Amino acid sequence: MDSILVTGNGPLHGEIPIAGAKNACLTLMPATLLSEEPLTLTNAPRLSDIRTMTTLLQSLGAEVSALNDGQVLAMSSHGLDNHTAHYDIVRKMRASILVLGPMLAREGHAVVSLPGGCAIGARPVDLHLKALEAMGAELDLKDGYVHARAPKGRLQGGVVDFPIVSVGATENALLAATLAKGTTVIKNAAREPEIVDLADCLRKMGAQIEGDGTSTITIQGVDRLNGATHPVVTDRIELGTYMLAPAICGGEVELLGGRRNLLEAFCQKLEETGLEVTDTEKGLKVARKNGRVKAVDVVTEPFPGFPTDLQAQFMALMCTAEGTATLEEKIFENRFMHAPELIRMGAKIEVQGGTAKVTGVEKLKGAPVMATDLRASVSLILAGMAAEGETRVSRVYHLDRGYEHVVRKLSGVGATIERIKED
């Protein structure tokens, strides 16, 4: 099991290219199931989760080829020959549930395993199922699988009214509604850039969608969708993560492909700490020039609020900030599992329920630590970059799910970091 070795090495300078969004790509890939014609995605990230979704689509009979060193995904679902998404693949990644809506919409029936547990909370799929039921789907849960059927072979337009905002359920409903007969209205829809990106791709395929990016999305179902070529939107979580690198270490780094409108609330918080965030011709530039940053409070919220997927990384920044910060997690339970590992490095953190109080220290100390989930893993790397001595982060297989070429990108701006291969 590999580990990452990090040694604090002072300010960072240079450029970091930002990849296409993992969460967007995992949503776009199942869209191939909606059409017999080819769907090509460019700017795809090269991650283990993408490979898992590739394996799942191929198990259903789709053709998926990774071109241009994995940055282009050429897909075709003209010959689907299986309608069951098996547990041995689905268990590896919760996004696997996103094949349910498209397969049911096009084929009229589907069998999909319920995803396994999740380290950052229950994240149940009941909202996905209720959305499909609102479009007339008949569902039967047995032996850990969802058996779904569309009466008369086709879903019907309906009103999907989510009691809480759910990105994944909004995506599944949007995918399914494109081929449903009649009009579907999704209320209390998620507004994330990944939702807008999915809608843009589906419109290129011939879908009739209005209101994406707002809390109400209206879809007029069509009889068939065509193929398309679509670039995956910039990964705003990778963007925010690498914006924190110069914030923690000092220096000035330009994030190529970054856009402020992807992370407005996050950028505002960074500026409150005393950092400079500026637009450039190539992306965004972050600079820390005046010593320690100031502690600021954060509450995670659905987009356009502060992203839960940047909470762990921001906590790493607050560990060396001047003053005390309160971080309130309102999206997922159990999302402070990185706190004990940061405490091993000398951080002062008190966790009570969904709130963490972080009192900054002048310097963290390197230590052996263990990653508990994807975002926690990179937060420990960031902390190690600002610590005295050596930090060894183990269980970095989590990291490979969401960040490509971490060592290359961070060492390219001056970080002392290497990946240790272990048997």
Give the pLDDT confidence score for residue 401 in this predicted structure.
84
- pLDDT score of 122 more than 80: no
The annotation places the binding site for UDP-N-acetyl-alpha-D-glucosamine at 94, 123-127, 309, 331
Name the pLDDT band for 124 (thresholds 50, 70, 90): low
Q: Tally the residues of the chain.
A: 423
- pLDDT score of 117 more than 50: no
The annotation places the binding site at 22-23, 94, 123-127, 309, 331
Give the pLDDT confidence score for residue 207 in this predicted structure.
98
Give the pLDDT confidence score for residue 121 in this predicted structure.
43
Residue 2's alpha-carbon distances to 174, 198, 394, 397, in angstroms, are 38, 34, 7, 7
**Phi, psi at 170, each rounded to 5°:** -60, -45
The annotation places the binding site for phosphoenolpyruvate at 22-23
371-419, pLDDT tens digit by residue? Answer: 888 888 999 999 999 999 999 999 988 888 889 999 999 999 999 999 9
**Parallel, antiparallel, or unpaired: how do β-strands 145-149 and 138-142 relate?**
antiparallel
CA–CA separation, 378 and 197 (whole Å)? 25
CA–CA separation, 230 and 27 (whole Å)? 13
Predicted TM-score (pTM) of the model is 0.91
Give the pLDDT confidence score for residue 379 in this predicted structure.
96
**Span between the terminal Cα atoms of the chain, in Å:** 6
Average of per-residue pLDDT across 206-215: 98
Name the pLDDT band for 220 (thresholds 50, 70, 90): very high
Cβ distance 263 to 192 under 8 Å?
Answer: no
- pLDDT score of 186 more than 80: yes
Domains and CATH numbers, the chain: 3-19+234-420 (3.65.10.10), 22-231 (3.65.10.10)
Average of per-residue pLDDT across 147-155: 94
- pLDDT score of 211 more than 80: yes
Residue 118 designated active-site:
yes
Give the pLDDT confidence score for residue 50 in this predicted structure.
95
Active-site residue identified among 25, 118, 201, 267: 118
Name the pLDDT band for 173 (thresholds 50, 70, 90): very high
Name the pLDDT band for 93 (thresholds 50, 70, 90): confident
The share of the chain scoring above pLDDT 90, in percent, equals 87
Give the pLDDT confidence score for residue 120 in this predicted structure.
34
Average of per-residue pLDDT across 20-45: 97
**Phi, psi at 407, each rounded to 5°:** -60, -45
Residue 404's alpha-carbon distances to 162, 208, 407, 413, in angstroms, are 34, 34, 9, 16
Give the pLDDT confidence score for residue 116 in this predicted structure.
60
Give the pLDDT confidence score for residue 5 in this predicted structure.
97
CA–CA separation, 391 and 415 (whole Å)? 13
Name the pLDDT band for 331 (thresholds 50, 70, 90): confident
